[in-house]
Structure 1
Amino acid sequence: MSSPLDITQVSNLALDLLDEAPLTSFDTDTGHVARWFRRNFWPVAWSLMRKHPWNFALARANLAADAAVPVFGAQYAYPIPPDCLRVLPLSADGREDGREVWYKAEGQQILTNEPPPRPVRYIRRIDTPGLFDAQFVDVLAATLAQKAAHFITGKQSYAQALGQMAAGLLAEAQMIDALEGAPDGPIDDFWLDARRA
């Protein structure tokens, strides 16, 4: 479930792991630690979102094809949604357990031979910490602390220990995140369907 924390509070969770003084305000503090967090917070958060299909960051769209047909290799091109961090595997009908279809994400387009409208599932960029899952916040704080450790403390051992902590928290969060909802059915396989016919 979502976490009611703001960006300053999430940053302070990371600083707590480093046993450092908290930020008063993410936006207005002027020290070198605050500047580090302003430079790194969102790139780290979006990178973590991209690594796993977190339930809080999933989105669906029905895309219309671009007017321009790809030069070669695919019959259709679809614009990648502007808030997309990662396109999830396409299926013929958009279902998670549907028959997977060929596609490539290139530049700002999805290339495929599947006709429009194209149902797409993707990981969207979330820009509001209050929408983050509570366990994602734990992973983000540990990852921020790990990345900031050497810069702030000068101790490489902090970075290594926090890296292990972040990896453990990520594995636990991914497992729990995957358990929210009914399990997917078996993936449709046209080879098996053809054999059964």
Structure 2
Amino acid sequence: MAITPLDIANMALGVLDEAPIDSLDQDVKPARLLNLHFDLTREAELTKHAWVFAILAAAVAGSDTGSGAGTLNFAYELPVDCLRPLPLTDNGEPDGVPIAWRQEAGLIYCDRSGPRLIRYVANLTDPNDWDALFTEVLVAALAINRRTRTRASGDHGQHPPSWPENHRRRASRGWRPRAGQGPVRPDAERDLHGERRRMVSRRRCPHRPDLAEGNDGPHPGRDSQCRPGV
């Protein structure tokens, strides 16, 4: 069955448990972000490795730059679909003898005259030309990219933050969980203990009505009728 870029995008959304889109041109945020980063992410993942399915070869005619014998004086223009060239050899084959070369922008320089067979990683845009492993890598990369952009913007899509993240946020706003409700940040735990101590002080000092209003100021005085433990 033929695979389209839309299928790849929806696979990435499926990893994030988000609803699929109808088109990469659809005017919704997931579609806009995936459409924006799709080509760049594909090229980046292709360039990272010498994927066997993406390796092509081309015979390129070189031109002498006139820099002199014994130098990298022959220049070769890379094919338009080249993402990165593979190391040059004397016969252009992987098992050939390596030769000196360097790349500058879209040109390769070496000390051998042309035409020369150059192997390179090609920018294959049709998902049906990819192998299954690369498809999975691209899906994962798009999902990571989508999640990173979502977290950076503070928008969690169609789903609320994760359970631990909810607890962290609520604790930072002063929420105090009951026993068994989940993790508490250290500062929230100290606040909880402090609140308990203040509640105990209210019970111990019935002669201070201002404590009922939460005033923890200096005690007006301690006598036989008002002492700790009463």
Q: Which runs of 4+ in 1 moved over 6 A?
A: none
Match of 1:17 among 2, 5, 15: 15
RMSD after superposition: 2.0
SS at match of 1:38: helix
The answer to whether structure 1 residue 40 and structure 2 residue 37 are counterparts is: yes
SS at match of 2:117: strand
Change (3 A) 1:143 1:96: same
Identity value in percent: 31
- Cα offset, 1:70, TM superposition: 6.0
How many residues align? The count is 153
* TM-score relative to the length of structure 2: 0.62
Aligned counterpart, 1:146: 144
Contact 1:33 1:152 in 2 (8 A): no
Letter in 2 for 1:10: I
Deviations 1:65-103 (A, max 9, x none): 13x516574220000111000100000011101110011
Measure, in 1, the Cα distance between the counterparts of 2:148 and 2:40. Answer: 18
Measure, in 2, the Cα distance between the counterparts of 1:116 and 1:77. Answer: 9
- Unmatched 5+ stretches in structure 1: 159-197
- Unmatched 5+ stretches in structure 2: 163-230
Measure, in 1, the Cα distance between the counterparts of 2:20 and 2:114. Answer: 51
Contact 1:70 1:77 in 2 (8 A): no
Aligned counterpart, 1:69: 65
SS at match of 1:96: coil
Q: Which moved more, 1:77-86 or 1:144-153?
A: 144-153
Deviations 1:128-165 (A, max 9, x none): 1221111111010001101110323557x99xxxxxxx
- Greater RCO, CA 8 A, separation 6+: 1
Letter in 1 for 2:23: S
The answer to whether structure 1 residue 114 and structure 2 residue 112 are counterparts is: yes
Aligned counterpart, 1:60: 57
Measure, in 2, the Cα distance between the counterparts of 1:58 and 1:142. Answer: 22
Letter in 2 for 1:143: A
Change (3 A) 1:10 1:70: farther
SS at match of 1:138: helix
Contact 1:103 1:110 in 2 (8 A): yes
Change (3 A) 1:107 1:150: closer
- Cα offset, 1:4, TM superposition: 3.0
Letter in 2 for 1:113: D
- Cα offset, 1:7, TM superposition: 0.4
Change (3 A) 1:134 1:59: same
Aligned counterpart, 2:207: none
